Amino acid sequence: MARQRSSELFAQARQFIPGGVNSPARSWGAVGGTPIFLARGQGSRIWDADGNEYIDFVGSWGPLILGHSHPQVLSRIKETLDSGTSFGAPTEIETQLAREVVRAYPSIDLVRFVSSGTEAAMSALRLSRAFTGRDKIIKFSGGYHGHADALLVKAGSGAASHGTPDSAGVTSSFAQDTLVAEYNDLESVEAYLRAHPRKIAAVIVEPVAGNMGVIPPRPGFLEGLRDMTSKNETLLIFDEVITGFRVAYGGAQELYNVAPDLTCLGKIIGGGLPVGAYGGRRDIMEVVSPLGPMYQAGTLSGNPVTVAAGLATLELLRGPDTYAKLEAKGLSLTQSLEDAFAEVDVPVRVNRVGSMLTLFFTDQEEIAGWESVSRCDAQAYASFFHRLLDIGIYFPPSPFESAFVSLAHTSEDLEVTRESVHKAALAVKAG
């Protein structure tokens, strides 16, 4: 497969952009090689700058649950564009999207839109500190909540791929109020709550971890967090930037039936355009400016084009059997991966919740948190990734990321993928 044009474009990009990319995971640091430059996407397919076609299981890292260039999403965007791109003043459709979020998430009474998941998590933290008057927060090792300073501590995929789990430039005064617990380990949370009574403003968690590879919560983990935080008057923040509208229309909180105090959203609600949102209980959200003293603002927040894409996406997700279809497609891909590696006798484990999944190269019984993730064979994943790419399947260019199946993946796509995965597994085995 010729990728000459991508190589040339990458060389040019590196002259003007750090590392040639605007987000580190795109540089393929974790799998090696030269990143492909993408030119076009349609449904489940993408085309690179050399015209090579791939079945895409990245979906722009989560937003594209309908696949690329869905005609109804594009037409809503174009319609909205004809009336202007931004006003920095209220528009009617922002309320429509807010109403839909509030309807779908019973834990959310009020919601504020921002322009990225990073902003959503950063703002939710500031709000939890403003509301509780406390300084410290607990996050989980391998949990990613965007690149706000206080959250760039043991932050999973992007940073881990580049060997710097803690970013340079994050001062110790920022990091010292961030306590890092182990995912799926309630005792590690309890220990901090005991050690710092009435000092912890919030626990922030991806209810299904998605940024150290997919890790489902063990039974009782989310319920345990809910109990502990309630007892300590600490807020529980679910970062559902990936899982919101992905694992169920009402997110992981619907799937596992645990209600957080605050929720972060992003990715899918922007229909492929830049977005984030945070929302929650009315008494907490009323601390947000202009109602309360916690300041947070954004020139392009609630941008009409983004909101239109989000509304169109959610409308389509409310169609018949959406989540049953995603479950079936996710299961099909999982079985292909498991079958292929069982056949060549290479030990793997696939973690999956609905349409998000990760293939781990490991003989461990369970991948439950960062410690077990870090013991998986990243080299084997890199080899698998490149073999698949060469036969036209685009998987995440990192062993620590989720693959995403979309509604656009047809049974034919999944059949082609099954055959390709078998070929790639044979090649991995051959070394």
Give me the amino acid identity at 16.
F
121 contributes a contact to ligand PLP by CB under 6 A: yes
373 contributes a contact to ligand PLP by CB under 6 A: no
- Which tokens sit at 347? 């030990």
Choice among 54, 105, 144, 256 that is catalytic: 144
Choice among 136, 139, 154, 267 that is catalytic: 267
107 contributes a contact to ligand PLP by CB under 6 A: no
Q: Which of 44, 132, 211, 234 binds ligand PLP (CB under 6 A)?
A: 211
When the beta carbons of 239 and 254 are compared against ligand PLP, the nearer one is: 239
Best CA proximity match to 121, nearest among 294, 278, 284, 281: 278
256 is catalytic: no
Shortest distance (Å) from residue 321 CB to ligand PLP: 26
Footprint of ligand PLP on 133-162 (CB under 6 A): 144-146
Shortest distance (Å) from residue 266 CB to ligand PLP: 5
Footprint of ligand PLP on 262-291 (CB under 6 A): 266, 276
Determine contact, residues 137/204, Cβ cutoff 8 Å: yes
When the beta carbons of 406 and 417 are compared against ligand PLP, the nearer one is: 406
Instruction: Give the residue at shortest CB distance from ligand PLP.
Output: 117
Question: Residue by residue, what is the 3-state secondary structure of the chain?
Answer: CCCHHHHHHHHHHHHHCHHHCCCHHHHCCCCCCCCCCEEEEEECEEEECCCCEEEECCHHHCCCCCCECCHHHHHHHHHHHCCCCCCCCCCHHHHHHHHHHHHHCCCCCEEEEECCHHHHHHHHHHHHHHHHCCCEEEEECCCCCCCCHHHCCCCCHHHHHCCCCCCCCCCHHHHCCEEEECCCCHHHHHHHHHHCCCCEEEEEECCCECCCCCECCCCCHHHHHHHHHHHCCCEEEEECCCCECCCECCHHHHHCCCCCCEEEEEHHHHCCCCCEEEEECHHHHCCECCCCCECCCCCCCCCHHHHHHHHHHHHHHCCCCHHHHHHHHHHHHHHHHHHHHHHCCCCEEEEEECCEEEEEECCCCCCCCHHHHHCCCHHHHHHHHHHHHHCCEECCCCCCCCEECCCCCCHHHHHHHHHHHHHHHHHHHHC
Choice among 56, 177, 185, 239 that is catalytic: 239
Task: Count the residues of the shown chain that bind ligand PLP, applying the rule CB under 6 A.
Answer: 15
239 contributes a contact to ligand PLP by CB under 6 A: yes
Shortest distance (Å) from residue 421 CB to ligand PLP: 25
Shortest distance (Å) from residue 118 CB to ligand PLP: 3
56 is catalytic: no
Residue 282: other Cβ atoms inside 10 A: 11
144 is catalytic: yes
Q: Which of 116, 253, 406, 417 binds ligand PLP (CB under 6 A)?
A: 116
When the beta carbons of 83 and 164 are compared against ligand PLP, the nearer one is: 164
Piece of 3-11, 38-46, 47-55, 235-243 that binds ligand PLP (CB under 6 A): 235-243
- Which tokens sit at 57? 């299981």
Query: Which residues, in sequence order, are CB contacts of 106 under 8 Å at separation 6+?
Result: 250, 259
When the beta carbons of 49 and 212 are compared against ligand PLP, the nearer one is: 212
306 contributes a contact to ligand PLP by CB under 6 A: no
Shortest distance (Å) from residue 5 CB to ligand PLP: 27
- Please give the Cα distance from 261 to 135 (Å, whole number): 17
When the beta carbons of 153 and 348 are compared against ligand PLP, the nearer one is: 153
Cα dist from 299 to 81, 110, 303, 309, whole Å: 17, 20, 9, 18
Shortest distance (Å) from residue 207 CB to ligand PLP: 10
When the beta carbons of 157 and 417 are compared against ligand PLP, the nearer one is: 157
Q: Which of 155, 241, 284, 314 binds ligand PLP (CB under 6 A)?
A: 241
Footprint of ligand PLP on 245-264 (CB under 6 A): none
When the beta carbons of 20 and 63 are compared against ligand PLP, the nearer one is: 63
When the beta carbons of 210 and 217 are compared against ligand PLP, the nearer one is: 210
Q: Which of 44, 80, 107, 118 binds ligand PLP (CB under 6 A)?
A: 118
- Please give the Cα distance from 244 to 262 (Å, whole number): 13
When the beta carbons of 274 and 292 are compared against ligand PLP, the nearer one is: 274
Q: Which of 56, 100, 177, 206 binds ligand PLP (CB under 6 A)?
A: 206
- The catalytic residues are 144, 239, 267
**Residues within the interface to ligand PLP (CB under 6 A):** 116-118, 121, 144-146, 206, 210-211, 239, 241-242, 266, 276
